[in-house]
Structure 1
Amino acid sequence: MSTLYLKFELCSDWHIGNGKEAGAYADAMVLKDAHGLPYLPGKGIKGLLKEAFSLCAKNQWFGDNSDALVNQLFGVEEYSGVEAQGMLQISSGRLSDGEQAYFIQHPDAKRYLYRVVQSTAIDHESGVALKGSLRSMEVVVPLVLEAEVTMNTAHPSYAASGLTEELFSRYLSEAVTMITSLGAKRHRGLGQVMVSVQPNSGE
């Protein structure tokens, strides 16, 4: 196994929803872990990475076998629903261990991680807010999250991929530059992010 670390520097408020409402507080709530802390689910990170790698592959950043490499890394889901597991295993993105420990020990401080923003739909002809269109959304303030990306070198596709740990690190570093936003309402300025690859957690 070869592990690299992704650093997500959120530069704006962001929202990944849990599909629930909270009455008068907000119409859309943020996804939180068992300790009430925000995080990026591993499945969502995998989707962002696959989209980024696919864009790079489309532009032949990884040579002639770019499309095959994306399938080897992320797996393939057939129309029949049968999945072929890829070489990558991706953890959820979370606050650093020290930050998690602090918020668990000081639960009252968690409220500073969140705020509520409101928006409304505007009638383009009159310029007046549409009746009943006011919505409130809980968002997470800008912060830094960390995730692990592990390449399974024992995977059957590893030898065929031609990847070395050094080469994969370079490809990953190039691909994450394609990720500039995440979560909901990205076209409205939420979820602006810078992603980088770190050899060790916290570097």
Structure 2
Amino acid sequence: MTVILNLRILSYWRAGTGRNRPGALDALCQRDHDGLPMIPGKHLKGLLRDAVRRAHGVGWTPSLDETTLFGGLDAQADDGLNGTRGGCIRVDSALLPDAERAVLRENPDLIALLFDTRRSTAIGPNGTAEPGSLRFEEVAVPMTLEARLCAVGAVPDGWESELEKALTLVRAVGAQRTRGLGRCILTLEKRGAA
């Protein structure tokens, strides 16, 4: 059985690359090998780790903590890795579902419609734009992405239901989450034979 993390992104969003397009865009979206928007698994793992840590802290996930699921520092570890242990779940990058990818491969001119440009500027204390602060950033339009969660070790019983509780704590993905980008709803879906 495969567990899929569904990311229903409700607003413009951007998983940043740290790169720009000189003279045109100050920030670009992360793209996969087909030029489609994506969110790296490392970014998702960090969001999920934080959500599980917070959920465990308030008792929502009593048998599941972030170290068990995703690995990290563990005072109990005896693995010769300075108190670290690997997690039991691997988080793949979030990509467009296969059906949408197939349509876009057949119609590559549609890919440009998945992106837009967002303009922003810093406003100074006198209420006017700060000199040189105008930015043009590439953003992706709202869409649904999927990421596989793969067991790479012994997973605790009931981890999916506890993780689903923690997912409600993730409100946004990508860059500038606290500034309104990447609002989302995350859910889990089981596919295939048990």
The aligned residue for residue 67 of structure 2 is 71
In the superposition, the TM-score normalised over structure 2's length comes to 0.89
Structure 1, 100-109 or 8-17: larger mean CA deviation: 100-109
Partner SS, residue 53 of structure 1: helix
1:14 aligns with 2:10: no
The aligned residue for residue 145 of structure 1 is 145
Amino acid at match of 1:3: T
Deviation at 1:78, TM superposition (A): 7.0
CA distance in 1, matches of 2:107, 2:183: 28
CA distance in 2, matches of 1:62, 1:134: 44
1:185 aligns with 2:176: yes
CA distance in 1, matches of 2:112, 2:148: 27
In the superposition, the TM-score normalised over structure 1's length comes to 0.85
Q: Could you tell me whether the CA contact under 8 Å between 2:60 and 2:166 is conserved in 1?
A: no
Deviation at 1:168, TM superposition (A): 1.2
Structure 2: gaps (5+ residues): 76-80
Structure with the larger helix share: 1
CA distance in 2, matches of 1:35, 1:103: 9
Deviation at 1:3, TM superposition (A): 2.9
CA distance in 2, matches of 1:180, 1:42: 17
CA distance in 1, matches of 2:181, 2:30: 15
The aligned residue for residue 50 of structure 2 is 51
Backbone CA RMSD of aligned residues = 2.0
Number of aligned residue pairs: 187
Q: In the TM superposition, what are the counterparts of 1:82-121 in structure 2 within 5 Å?
A: 83-121=84-122
Amino acid at match of 1:11: L
How high is the sequence identity, in percent, across the aligned residues?
32
CA distance in 2, matches of 1:38, 1:112: 11
Structure 1: gaps (5+ residues): none
Deviation at 1:73, TM superposition (A): 1.0
> Which whole-Å deviations, capped at 9, do the CAs of 1:13-70 have from their partners, x for residues lacking one?
001111111123211111111110011111111111100000001112223x55xx32
CA distance in 2, matches of 1:83, 1:118: 43
CA distance in 1, matches of 2:54, 2:74: 20
Q: Could you tell me whether the CA contact under 8 Å between 2:3 and 2:191 is conserved in 1?
A: yes
